[in-house]
Chains A and B, each alone.
Chain A
Amino acid sequence: MIALVDCNNFYVSCERVFAPRLEGRPVGVLSNNDGCVVARSNELKALGVAMGAPMHLLPPAIRRQAVLLSSNYALYGDMSRRVNLILGEFSPDVETYSIDESFVGFAGFAVDGLEAHAQRLRETVRRDTGIPVCVGLAPTRVLAKVANHAAKKQAAYEGVCRLEADGPATRALLASLPVTELWGVARRTAERLALMDIHTAWQLREADPKQVRRHFSVVLERIVWELRGRPAIVLDDMHEPRQRNMVSRSFGRLTGAFADLQEAVRQHAARAAEKLRGQGSQARAVMVFLRTNPYLAGERQYRNSVVVPLPSPGDDSRELLEAASRGLAAIFLEGVRYQKCGVMLLDLVEADRHQLSLLAPRSEVERGRSQRLMATVDRLNREMGRDTVRFGLPRRGTAWALRCERRTSRYTTRWDELMRVKTR
């Protein structure tokens, strides 16, 4: 069995931990510089505020009523790190999937006690970090994702939903789930599925895998197998163009050399940047994570991650590589042997929808030049093989003026910004 642990409204929940008065109020977190809503509390969702909405277009009544904050990536990154530390106490097999989502493998665990185990996990995360999470338990990642969705939407599950490969509950859930809401199924794919009279997740599960592969892709075939309860996907299959973009890989052998990690992180960042441009998106922050091999007894264990915000949404490899390298330097620990590292691009925005800010560090001309350069690089790498053109280490200390005047304190990473508590 595998669990998907997903933090509820993660950015907003982080803010509420350190500002309890925000509990119960409509709260939104804005992207730095371009001021779009990237996270919403349930109360803000209920007011009809859409994901990605630009703040200056919100009706005045909502702007008065809601608490709108700039994103505090230092805080979110640290709270994410804490959540993953706790997950590591419940199973050695923790895979970071996003800043607010992780897969936790329970292979070899007694099947009977798993729900109770998941419930303890949920309570421990809540107690130690204040972050509410939901857990979806199932034999495959795709089903775990479905289970998590149910746990979040239906209060009766009390935050933990377990699905078996077969069974009336699984069938009922899948039959009521449109394929558009299924993890890894793009909108265009869903439209073509509809032409074949496949509208729900259950119908997709019942489709012939070979045919699905012929008409669509290997990834969609794997999703069919996963819906049937047979593990088939790898995490890198499942990038979600609208939200995140991840590249990670295990090293062939364990390594403690900074140069090895730097090389890997740069490669991952370059690959992620390419994917990002391929789908016409820009990223607002870069997350770097690394870990040792948790299954090696007697080996010193370490796991860490950090989030580096970008001055404005970007898709320039040089900028993303620079951010990833700075992140790596911040969390690299001497004297341990690493098994895996990865780079994740967060809070994506569609490139054409992104509004340029007066404070953006580069001029329009420079931006155009950079876009042409990146397009050429991508074409060369596509036509002549990956890594035909590669990037050296960019210069340090580029303009780093984030526009973030509504940002709360970096409560857990700065001595001079700690939470203040009154004694009376």
Chain B
Amino acid sequence: MMSPLSTTARVIGRAAPFPGETAQPLMGCRVRAGFPSPADDHLDVEIDLHAHVVRRPAATYFVRAEGDSMLGDGIHDGDLLVVDRSLEPLPGRVVVIAVDGEPTVKRLERRGEQTFLVASNPRFAPIPLAGRECEVWGVVTHVLHALPGGEP
């Protein structure tokens, strides 16, 4: 007899790649002292992905990524990026930045005293920020990547 087909799941990393963000379980309820209210089961509203992803609506923009040089950061060609303009462009964050008037996606990296724009494709050398005409446009907070069957 053959054993039933099985798939083993392996933990490959945290689902929330952004440090500082508190992960919220999608299901479950908060533990509370005292008697639970019988109404708790009826309080749930539909889970709103937009509200989960868009923290500051006035400052949040959706943009489309082009090219595959940020694959290592999880950004594929054609992916939808959620960009929050209100966040600080700290080292380690992925940003949309206009370099010589052209909007691009890069990761900010601090190396010694200098800040660099880094692509995850090693073919592209890090670009030092100093002495360049560039302006950070916003911080990429999420990537929406469609798998086969999920494309619009």
Contacts and interface: CB of A to CB of B under 8 A. Distances in A.
B59 to A, nearest CB: 4
Contacts of A83: 58
Contact of B58 (A128, A411, A422): A128
Given A422-B66, A423-B75, A129 B59 contact: yes
Interface stretch (A114-122, A262-270, A376-384, A412-420): A412-420
A127 B85 contact: yes
A241 interface: no
A129 B58 contact: yes
A374 interface: no
A129 B57 CA distance: 11
B110 interface: no
B105 A422 contact: yes
B81 interface: yes
B96 A421 contact: yes
Contacts of B98: 20-21
A219 interface: no
B35 interface: no
B69 interface: yes
Contact of A420 (B59, B64, B121, B137): B64
A421 B86 contact: no
A85 B56 CA distance: 10
B18 to A, nearest CB: 19
Interface in B75-127: 75, 77, 80-81, 85-86, 96, 98, 101-106, 119, 121, 124
A424 interface: yes
A424 B105 CA distance: 7
A421 B104 contact: yes
B129 interface: no
Interface residues of B, number: 34
Contacts of A21: 98, 101-102
B117 to A, nearest CB: 10
A421 B82 CA distance: 12
Contacts of B69: 423-424
Interface string A14-49: 000000110100000000000000000000000000
A200 B67 CA distance: 59
A132 interface: no
B68 A423 contact: yes
B59 A423 contact: no
A333 to B, nearest CB: 14
A412 B63 CA distance: 9
A421 B85 contact: no
Nearest to A86: B58
A52 interface: no
A354 interface: no
B124 A424 contact: yes
Contact of A418 (B64, B70, B101, B137): B64
A418 B57 CA distance: 16
Contacts of A82: 57-59
Given A419-B61, A420-B64, 19 more contacts: A82-B58, A82-B59, A83-B58, A124-B86, A128-B59, A128-B86, A130-B85, A130-B137, A418-B80, A419-B64, A420-B66, A422-B66, A422-B104, A422-B105, A423-B70, A424-B67, A424-B69, A424-B121, A424-B124
**Which 7 A-B pairs have CB atoms at the shortest separation, nearest pair first?**
A21-B101, A128-B59, A20-B98, A423-B67, A424-B69, A85-B58, A423-B70
